[in-house]
A and B are shown apart, each in its own frame.
Chain A
Amino acid sequence: MRANAPAGVEGHHTNAWVSKAVLAPLVFLAFLMASIATLSGDWASLFSRAAATSMLEFARGFIAPAGGAAFLGKTFYAALETLAISLLGTLLAVLAGLALALPAAGRWGLPAKHAARFVLNVLRAIPELVWASLVVIAAGLGPFAGTLALGFHTTGVLGRLFGESLENVAPEANDTLRRNGVGALPAFWYTTFPQALPQLASYALYRWENNIRAAAVLGVVGAGGLGQMLYFHLSLFQTHEAATVLLAMIALVGVVDIASNQLRIKLTGR
């Protein structure tokens, strides 16, 4: 037990350790208690008969997912729609993110850098779903809103990641060309960009993996795809159909994960 340790450096060490070991759990417990108290805690209802019956309903529904050619066809179409949303949304974000990453890395002066960073931060801070709710107002219900929403949020994320990658590229090759009278943009395309490309591609593909999950759920606010189907069937308590859609979601995510991994290995050799 360290209580007998002498004062001084050792003592300071002990105090820090004690404060972490004692203070941290206490603060945490207090926070937790306050949280639990605030939540209206309809916890009783969780274990009520009504809840139990509806959860049992759900479970039964999920064990027997709906089939039938027509419904499976619809599900497949919705899956394609979701895939399209994720691909187009990510693609738009790659282009827009790159366009914003250049000023954000400081290539066109300080005011442009701050402006670009601010835009990227706003885009990133607002989650895809919130964007989808906003975009639905202008673009109407459907997958277009989902694509745009995904594009907006992902631009913020990729723009920042791209900017960091570009800044981290070794400057010697670029400097040499600039010193020999090459313009900023051609020098960028010939030196900085090819050096950053594996990292950029990696980020973009990783983001696609994330976006297929996001695209799947955007539908709950009306942005099309499997999410919209899921929301629809759950609202009508059609658990069998909902189970099928859910399985399709999981399968789609798995497929995209594999595809993205393969592409990443092919493009970056890693």
Chain B
Amino acid sequence: MRALSPAELNVSALEQVVVSYSDTATALADVSLSLSPEEQVAIIGPSGAGKTTLLATFACALKPSRGRVVVFGRDPWALPAAELHRLRGDLFLAPQAPPLPPRQRVVNAVLAGRLPQWTAWKALSSLVRPRDLAAAHDALTRFKLDDKLFLRCDRLSGGERQRVALARLLVSNARLFLLDEPVSSLDPNLAGVALDTLQEEARQRGATLVVSLHAVDLAMARFPRLIGLRAGRVLFDLPRAEVSNELLTDLYGAELGMSFQSPPTFEEAQMKLTRCL
């Protein structure tokens, strides 16, 4: 195994990054993290901890007030606009609320993932007559939405819209997946299917997958590395096995005086669910 150069070691890295919106509002304080190729990471933490900001910073969508960002071995904020644009085509940032225009059909919403690879003319002609229907259909099938291919986005439920936004990822070319609460509107069964698909896709492509979750049980069950974020600071950055209940209590429950129980496994959760039905 040859030694990897430092640039190749990291898909994306933040060094002592500070993101602040004003003198008093700091979203991220002194965050240093790095992501290696083919890693799968879950970011957990209470609301307002800065998970969205962290993902945005990794995705060079947000310029930090201080500190350095490196993406694919380069400093995105030092690049000329065209280069930065190309760089962005290699990553995929999915916001919490599915960004789907209401009257657009699902097929076009999904194929929008291909846009970085298409010329302007191809993009426009695909609106008139969708190209690559097969790829869109395939992507939707993996999220169990194949029958919705030609429906309008505003005719879908919240959970379906969320899955369509994820299907976009499957037709894109990205090597770095940054997903903000991708399964928040999905029931445990569908959430499992969605995460299965995402993780498998990441493995197949050799891409890095970073997901922010508020369901700690899912995070613990599926992701080998967990980053705990609280009030804009990294509380811990550990392999799954080393994340103890005390750490989780620190992360979530300390302010509320709660103590964290050992979260149920996915199977246990599913059994609980079927018992309720």
- A residues adjacent to B (C-beta < 8 A): 172-173, 175-183, 185-187, 189-191, 194-195, 197-198
Contact yes or no, B124 A189, CB < 8 A: yes
- Which residues from B are CB-within-8-Å of A176? 93-95, 99
Contacting A at CB under 8 A, from B85-134, are 85-95, 97, 99-104, 108, 112-113, 115-116, 118, 120, 123-124, 127
Contact yes or no, A189 B89, CB < 8 A: no
Q: Which of the residues B88, B94, B95, B103 comes within 8 Å of A181, measured between beta carbons?
A: B88
13 A-B pairs, CB-CB below 8 angstroms? A172-B95, A176-B93, A177-B115, A179-B59, A180-B89, A180-B115, A180-B172, A180-B174, A181-B86, A181-B116, A183-B120, A191-B101, A198-B103
A176 to B52, CA, bound (A): 13
Shortest beta-carbon distance from B102 to chain A in Å: 7
Contact yes or no, A190 B88, CB < 8 A: no
Contact yes or no, B99 A181, CB < 8 A: no
Contact yes or no, A179 B93, CB < 8 A: yes
Contact yes or no, A180 B88, CB < 8 A: yes
Total interface residues on B, CB under 8 Å, equals 32
Given A189-B127, A195-B101, are A183 and B88 neighbors across the interface (CB < 8 Å)? no
- Which residues from B are CB-within-8-Å of A194? 101, 103-104
A211 to B146, CA, bound (A): 45
- B residues adjacent to A (C-beta < 8 A): 59, 61, 85-95, 97, 99-104, 108, 112-113, 115-116, 118, 120, 123-124, 127, 172, 174
A186 to B117, CA, bound (A): 11
Contact yes or no, A181 B90, CB < 8 A: yes
Contact yes or no, B116 A173, CB < 8 A: no
- Which residues from A are CB-within-8-Å of B104? 190, 194
Measured CB to CB, the nearest residue on chain B to A181 is B89
Contact yes or no, A190 B103, CB < 8 A: no
Given A179-B93, A182-B116, A190-B115, are A173 and B101 neighbors across the interface (CB < 8 Å)? yes
A146 to B108, CA, bound (A): 40
A223 to B126, CA, bound (A): 41
Measured CB to CB, the nearest residue on chain A to B173 is A181
Q: A183-B85, A187-B115, A190-B101 are in contact. List 5 more A-B contacts (CB 8 A).
A: A178-B88, A189-B127, A190-B104, A191-B101, A198-B103
Contact yes or no, B101 A186, CB < 8 A: no
A195 to B112, CA, bound (A): 15
Measured CB to CB, the nearest residue on chain B to A182 is B115
- Which residues from A are CB-within-8-Å of B123? 185-186, 189-190
A121 to B156, CA, bound (A): 42
A198 to B93, CA, bound (A): 28
Given A187-B115, A197-B103, are A180 and B85 neighbors across the interface (CB < 8 Å)? no
Q: Which of the residues A175, A177, A186 comes within 8 Å of B124, measured between beta carbons?
A: A186
Shortest beta-carbon distance from A199 to chain B in Å: 11
A176 to B109, CA, bound (A): 12
- Which residues from A are CB-within-8-Å of B103? 194-195, 197-198
- Which residues from A are CB-within-8-Å of B100? 173
A197 to B93, CA, bound (A): 26
A195 to B153, CA, bound (A): 12
Contact yes or no, B112 A179, CB < 8 A: no
Contact yes or no, B172 A195, CB < 8 A: no
- Which residues from A are CB-within-8-Å of B118? 186
Shortest beta-carbon distance from A95 to chain B in Å: 15
A182 to B99, CA, bound (A): 14
Contact yes or no, A186 B115, CB < 8 A: yes
Query: In this complex, which of A173, A180, A191, A198 has the most chain B Cβ atoms within 10 angstroms of its Cβ?
Result: A180
- Which residues from B are CB-within-8-Å of A189? 123-124, 127
Contact yes or no, B99 A172, CB < 8 A: yes
- Which residues from A are CB-within-8-Å of B115? 177, 180, 182-183, 186-187, 190
Contact yes or no, A180 B108, CB < 8 A: no
Q: Which of the residues B61, B102, B120 comes within 8 Å of A186, measured between beta carbons?
A: B120
Shortest beta-carbon distance from A24 to chain B in Å: 47
Given A179-B93, A183-B120, are A190 and B127 neighbors across the interface (CB < 8 Å)? yes
- Which residues from A are CB-within-8-Å of B101? 173, 190-191, 194-195
